[in-house]
């Protein structure tokens, strides 16, 4: 998990969002856009408003000093929610309503999508409004959902899509090379 590595070198990303998480050809996760990243010494808090509002933890929205690693956990939960549902968990067009939902720990999941209780629980605990109550990186990687769901199942649909795109590219190359 890249977040564990970042914490080991005392760096908080502070701008995690779908656009800043990439996969290489072997499905290894790569983070990009470290423009808001900063080195954090033990217990040091940040106060800069940074990142994207839709992915921002309540403490950032409330403009109170925050733990950069815990806001990364929050943002990672937003990304995970989007990955498994296809939608944002909160309506970020209405910032006050979004903050109220976050502070009340209200999270709903689309009814038409089957999600295991394990992944719902993981997201719920990563999105705890109190940073001290949020899951740590270690707890996340040891969560039931990550431990019990084989990696190939979690990435199978991505690999299938990639294979389809690659075969389409080969077809287009052949068509462009033909003289008919």
- Calculate the alpha carbon distances from 12 to 36, 73, 83, 104 in Å: 9, 10, 22, 26
- Calculate the alpha carbon distances from 30 to 21, 103, 113, 141, 173 in Å: 6, 31, 28, 17, 29
Q: Which of 15, 27, 33, 72 is catalytic?
A: 15
DSSP states along 26-43: T--EEE---TT-EE--TT
Told to judge if 27 belongs to the known catalytic residues of this protein, a careful annotator would answer no
- Which residues are known to be catalytic? 15
């Amino acid at each position: 998990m890249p977040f564990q590595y970042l914490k080991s070198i005392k760096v908080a990303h502070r701008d995690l969002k779908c656009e800043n998480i990439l996969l290489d050809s072997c499905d290894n996760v790569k983070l990009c856009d470290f423009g808001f990243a900063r080195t954090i010494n033990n217990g040091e808090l940040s106060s800069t408003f940074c990142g994207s509002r839709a992915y921002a933890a309540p403490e950032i929205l409330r403009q109170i000093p925050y733990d950069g690693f815990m806001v990364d956990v929050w943002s990672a939960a937003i990304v995970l929610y989007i990955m498994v549902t296809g939608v944002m968990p909160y309506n970020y067009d209405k910032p006050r309503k979004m903050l109220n939902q976050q502070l009340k720990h209200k999270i709903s999941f689309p009814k038409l999508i089957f999600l295991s209780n394990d992944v719902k629980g993981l997201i719920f605990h990563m999105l705890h409004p109190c940073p001290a109550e949020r899951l740590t990186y270690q707890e996340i990687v040891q969560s039931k959902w990550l431990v019990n769901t084989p990696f190939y199942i979690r990435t199978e649909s991505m690999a299938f899509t990639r294979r389809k795109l690659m075969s389409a590219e080969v077809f287009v190359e052949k068509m462009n090379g033909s003289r008919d």
